[in-house]
């Protein structure tokens, strides 16, 4: 036997194609895993910034009166990226609130039969005139919006 065969330092092992393929495959799997784990974190961290920007851009919404239902009903609409509620009371008044429950962020709905705004997630109840909390776990009332009726349109703006 030659001295090269007995001494591995003189004849270093060469990386085979299989070893290269395994290294590349392992690197691709690791990159995919990192992307799959990192993307939700990125979305979670960027969402508040995106929503704040979208809400800052929209300060008024105008809805034609002909598109609204009659007295004693409500209309859901988007105020920026958030749902909002426009209530047309039986006496002709309009009020508008943010339609996101202050407890856990569920969307609330108007219940004219019960004369209330209700969140079905945990039983939160709000006053249909002021948006104040009547019952349930919500920590504070709904955000009020300013409502003006003119020229055949209802205009809702931030108060």
Give me the number of domains the chain comprises.
2
Query: Among 135, 149, 145, 142, which Cα is nearest to 101's?
Result: 142
Do 52 and 130 share a domain, yes or no? no
Do 35 and 67 share a domain, yes or no? no
Q: CB–CB of 65/149 below 8 Å?
A: yes
Position 109 in a domain? yes
Do 24 and 88 share a domain, yes or no? no
Q: State the average pLDDT for the chain.
A: 82
Higher pLDDT, 4 or 36: 36
Tell me: pLDDT of 77 over 80: yes
Segments forming the whole domain that contains residue 40: 15-57
Do 115 and 86 share a domain, yes or no? yes
The 3-state secondary structure of the chain, one letter per residue: CCHHHHCCCCCCCCCCHHHHHHHHHHHHHHHHHHHHHHHHHHHHHHHHHHHHHHHHHCCEEEEEHHHCCCCCEEEEEEECCEEEEEEECCCCCEEEEECECCCCCCECEEEHHHCEEEECCCCEEECCCCCCEEECCCCCCCCEEEEEEECCEEEEEEC
pLDDT computed for residue 52 by the predictor:
59
Do 84 and 142 share a domain, yes or no? yes
Do 48 and 97 share a domain, yes or no? no
Tell me: pLDDT of 123 over 70: yes
For residue 51 the two structure tokens come to: 């929503």
Kindly give the pairing relationship between strand 82-88 and strand 73-79: antiparallel
pLDDT band with cut points at 50, 70 and 90 for residue 96: very high
Position 90 in a domain? yes
- Give pTM, 2 decimals: 0.62
Do 35 and 97 share a domain, yes or no? no
pLDDT computed for residue 60 by the predictor:
78
pLDDT computed for residue 132 by the predictor:
92
Higher pLDDT, 132 or 44: 132
pLDDT computed for residue 10 by the predictor:
55
Position 8 in a domain? no
Do 114 and 50 share a domain, yes or no? no
We report the CATH number of the domain holding residue 131 as 2.102.10.10
């Amino acid at each position: 036997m030659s001295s090269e065969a007995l001494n591995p330092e003189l004849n270093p092992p060469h990386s085979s194609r299989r070893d290269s393929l395994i290294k590349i495959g392992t690197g691709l799997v690791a990159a995919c895993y990192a992307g799959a784990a990192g993307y939700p974190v990125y979305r979670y961290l960027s969402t508040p910034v995106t929503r704040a920007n979208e809400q800052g851009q929209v300060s008024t919404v105008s809805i034609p009166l002909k598109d609204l239902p009659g007295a004693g009903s409500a209309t859901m609409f988007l105020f920026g990226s958030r749902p909002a509620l426009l209530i047309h009371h039986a006496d002709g008044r309009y009020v508008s609130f943010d339609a996101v429950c202050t407890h856990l962020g569920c969307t609330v709905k108007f219940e004219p039969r019960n004369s209330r705004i209700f969140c079905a997630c945990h039983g939160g109840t709000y006053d249909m005139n002021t948006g104040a909390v009547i019952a349930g776990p919500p920590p504070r009332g709904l955000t009020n919006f300013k409502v003006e009726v003119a020229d055949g349109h209802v205009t809702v703006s931030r108060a």
